[in-house]
Chain A
Amino acid sequence: DAKTTQPPSMDCAEGRAANLPCNHSTISGNEYVYWYRQIHSQGPQYIIHGLKNNETNEMASLIITEDRKSSTLILPHATLRDTAVYYCIVLGFNTNAGKSTFGDGTTLTVKP
């Protein structure tokens, strides 16, 4: 399974964009990049996913490099409620039936 590497922690000022990086240099051609977040001890919450193209939804944007070896999750206007642990994972449902390793994620702290 492709592994991901994320910085352990980041800070962001409220109202500013939060850019969370992820390295996934061993990603295979049919594997997707998924982002989740976990607030306190709740179950992880899906944010966004992508294969090759950049993606945007109501929560965030996902920028994937052309070689697909890294990606960046962008929260355009971070709020205090976005303080959470953010996980970047790689999933290939055709190759490994959706098995995923979450790693330790990035703890994002949004400050007033």
Chain B
Amino acid sequence: NAGVTQTPKFRVLKTGQSMTLLCAQDMNHEYMYWYRQDPGMGLRLIHYSVGEGTTAKGEVPDGYNVSRLKKQNFLLGLESAAPSQTSVYFCASSYPTEQYFGPGTRLTVT
């Protein structure tokens, strides 16, 4: 099993550009999550999903959209990137017990 994978690993965007981060898991987990982590801080929940076709807002959802069209994939979209969205983004999945995290996507918005 690959576990939780994230694509891409690194990305640099200009302000106003859009992009989609892909999270994939091969563990048949129902729950999936997107977090962001700013330097020196803990993880903050952006959006989460309790099953295919369902999504919900987390702690810091503004500026992001998500979709869960397939059980194994959870997409995070930035429609118009802002410098404040410079961060490391982590995806996680769970059964729903312990969460398994991906390696992260380092995003810089200039």
**A interface residue numbers (CB < 8 A to B):** 34, 36, 41-46, 49, 87, 93, 97-105
> What are 15 A-B pairs at a CB distance below 8 A?
A41-B104, A42-B104, A43-B103, A44-B43, A44-B92, A46-B99, A49-B98, A97-B56, A98-B31, A98-B99, A99-B48, A99-B58, A100-B45, A101-B59, A103-B42
**A interface secondary structure, majority:** loop
Interface assignment of B85: CB less than 8 Å from any CB of chain A: no
Q: Are A97 and B50 interface neighbours, CB within 8 A?
A: yes
**Measured between C-beta atoms, what is the minimum distance from A88 to chain B in Å?**
11
**Size bin of chain B's contact surface:** 20 to 34
Q: How far is the CA of A103 from the CA of B99 in the complex (A)?
A: 16
On chain B, the residues within 8 Å of A36 by CB distance are 99
Q: Are B58 and A87 interface neighbours, CB within 8 A?
A: no
Q: How far is the CA of A27 from the CA of B92 in the complex (A)?
A: 23
Q: Are B42 and A43 interface neighbours, CB within 8 A?
A: no
On chain B, the residues within 8 Å of A46 by CB distance are 98-100
**Measured between C-beta atoms, what is the minimum distance from B37 to chain A in Å?**
8
